[in-house]
């Protein structure tokens, strides 16, 4: 296919949603994906979809209002970050989210919940069954019966301009340069730039350059293409993280093997809705120890970070110093050491190693049971340390040095200002390796309510749209479930809007949409 109605750059959640929405309105769609298979960051997420006024809320007797959700969504981020938010666009997105939820349910997706997540005043977090790969599978399945083509191993390197605007792309497909033309326009759906060192250093700061993104293929392709087209990029310095996370397991969580389509998936969804809460928490806990980060409280209560040389290297209680410091260590990894007292402390409420708020809490024994690959426990320090090939003598020297500070005998060489409990007796627990990661980035192109990309004067760039992380337009979406909800909602809206637009050769004159520009 050399010419089509719509070209979508990226086959993650937002790109597939945009492609399907356009195809449902009669569009001939081409989706180009640089990876060997679709999925993007959506495909490796837990899969929460946070929204208000949904059918699932009503079925559970939960009374909610989108207007309340818009207020609560502003309470997750630090006030300084929240001040950067595009309030009008976020409110518009949240109004459209329940319609997107219905659209996804019609595709055969099943959700459980909703679950609470303060400061949301009522439960709004809907969890897809069995996990986020269900979005990708359902959208792909629907695209198979539509006038749509997905080409993988296709890296878009350039947007093509015609007299009237953006009208195609140049891509490298399996090593060969090819041009594709779009009659109605191009949708950028390339994800975030969490794993692009140059972009991170440029916008976030040089000290963050060595910190990786949790999705190794999130390299800012869409943001770069938008900038080349003259788009205004906003909030490029705002990131979710960095934060310490344990390296992922070599094998996929068992939810990733479960069926995501057909009658089997629907039946599984019906069963999941009827499972007792303790069983659902047990299932979610397995995902929790795979994706969530260790709490800062671990370090405030005395746990320490060790590098591969068995040495401390940073004040573990200081963020983002510990993440920056970890990224500069050999192999970019570190280990968390707990003694017997800390192990007992973090084996029951209210002291947990990681959490999905108000859903599940993971303790030492959960990690021992579910992540034995990153959990070493033993009565003798020698056995625990040597199981990870750390030098025992260095670890003993480090412990002695730390304990002198913890007992008030001198300053901490790593800069801790407040005394913390000493690490004395076994059994010992070594968690890791852990790495510093950016979860996602909040920077993207400014767009209007049609998801059309705006230039620095606030005028739409004809033929160019952006969705998901490429089209965040200044929104701050902290909290679980909002990024996937935006990916699906923005994709749906863009696919509908682009098919309501005249073909590229007859693009009408466009005006800025002031309703979605934040006050300055």
pLDDT tens for each residue of 115-153: 899 999 999 999 998 888 899 999 999 999 999 999 999
DSSP 214: S
CB 433 within 8 A of CB 374: yes
Q: Which CATH architecture has domain 3-241+439-516?
A: 3-Layer(bba) Sandwich (3.50)
Q: In sequence order, what DSSP letters do the residues of 346-413 get, joined into one string?
A: TTBTTB-SEEETTTEEE-HHHHHHH-TTSEEEESSHHHHHHTTT--HHHHHHHHHHHHHHHTTSS--T
Mean pLDDT (the chain, rounded):
89
Residue 375's φ and ψ, nearest 5 degrees, are -125, 115
| CATH code of the domain occupying 250-438 | 3.90.700.10
pLDDT of residue 73: 97
Predicted confidence (pLDDT) at residue 211 exceeds the cutoff of 90: yes
Mean pLDDT, range 280-302, rounded to an integer: 71
Domain boundaries, the chain: 3-241+439-516, 250-438
pLDDT tens digits along 180-197: 999 999 999 999 999 999
pTM passes above 0.85: yes
pLDDT of residue 281: 52
pLDDT of residue 362: 86
Mean pLDDT, range 50-62, rounded to an integer: 97
CB-hemisphere CA count at 13 Å for 431? 33
The encoded tokens of residue 292 equal: 């969530």
pLDDT tens digits along 72-105: 999 999 999 999 999 999 999 999 999 999 999 9
Predicted confidence (pLDDT) at residue 178 exceeds the cutoff of 80: yes
Predicted confidence (pLDDT) at residue 257 exceeds the cutoff of 60: no
Listed range (111-115, 164-168, 384-388, 471-475) with the worst mean pLDDT: 111-115
């Amino acid at each position: 296919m050399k010419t089509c109605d719509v070209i979508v750059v990226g086959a993650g959640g937002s790109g597939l949603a945009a492609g399907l929405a356009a195809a449902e309105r009669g569009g001939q769609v081409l989706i180009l994906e640089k990876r060997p298979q679709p999925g993007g960051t959506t495909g490796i997420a837990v899969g929460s979809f946070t929204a208000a006024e949904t059918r699932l809320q009503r079925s559970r007797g939960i009374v909610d209002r989108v207007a309340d959700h818009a207020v609560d969504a502003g309470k997750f981020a630090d006030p300084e970050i929240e001040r950067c938010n595009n309030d009008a666009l976020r409110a518009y997105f949240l109004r459209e989210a329940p319609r997107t939820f219905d659209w996804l349910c019609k595709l055969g997706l099943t959700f459980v919940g909703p679950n609470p997540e303060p400061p949301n005043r009522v439960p709004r977090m809907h969890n897809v069954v069995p996990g986020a790969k269900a979005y990708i599978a359902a959208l792909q399945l629907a695209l198979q019966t539509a006038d749509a083509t997905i080409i993988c191993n296709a890296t878009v390197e350039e947007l093509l301009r015609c007299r009237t605007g953006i009208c195609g792309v140049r891509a490298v497909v399996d090593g060969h340069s090819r041009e594709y033309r779009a009659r109605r326009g191009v949708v950028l759906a390339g994800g975030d730039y969490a794993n692009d060192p140059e972009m991170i250093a440029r916008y976030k700061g040089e000290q963050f350059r060595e910190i990786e993104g949790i999705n190794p293929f999130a390299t800012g392709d869409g943001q770069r293409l938008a900038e080349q087209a003259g788009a205004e990029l906003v909030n490029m310095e705002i990131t979710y993280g960095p934060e310490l996370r344990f390296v992922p397991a070599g094998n996929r969580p068992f939810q990733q093997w479960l069926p995501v389509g057909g009658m089997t998936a629907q039946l599984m969804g019906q069963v999941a809705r009827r499972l007792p809460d303790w069983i659902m928490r047990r299932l979610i806990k397995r995902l929790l120890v795979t994706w969530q980060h260790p709490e800062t409280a671990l370090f405030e209560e005395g746990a320490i970070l060790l590098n591969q040389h068995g040495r401390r290297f940073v004040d573990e209680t200081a963020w983002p110093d510990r993440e920056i410091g970890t990224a500069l260590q050999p192999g970019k990894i570190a280990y968390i050491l707990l003694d017997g007292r800390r192990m007992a402390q973090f084996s029951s409420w209210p002291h947990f190693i990681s959490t999905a708020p108000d859903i599940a809490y993971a303790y030492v024994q959960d990690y021992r049971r579910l992540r034995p690959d990153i959990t070493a426990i033993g009565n003798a320090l020698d056995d625990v340390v040597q199981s990870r090939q750390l030098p025992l003598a260095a670890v003993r020297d480090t412990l002695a040095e730390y304990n002198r500070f913890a007992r008030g005998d001198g300053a901490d060489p790593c800069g801790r200002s407040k005394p913390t409990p000493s690490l004395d007796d076994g059994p010992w627990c070594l968690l890791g390796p852990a790495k510093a990661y950016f979860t996602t980035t909040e920077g993207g192109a400014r767009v209007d309510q049609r998801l059309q990309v705006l230039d620095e004067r606030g005028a739409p760039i004809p033929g160019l749209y952006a969705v998901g992380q490429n089209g965040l337009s200044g929104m701050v979406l902290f909290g679980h479930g909002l990024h996937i909800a935006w990916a699906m909602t923005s994709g749906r809206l863009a696919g509908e809007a682009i098919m309501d637009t005249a073909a590229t050769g007859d693009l009408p004159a466009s005006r800025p949409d002031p309703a979605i520009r934040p006050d300055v």
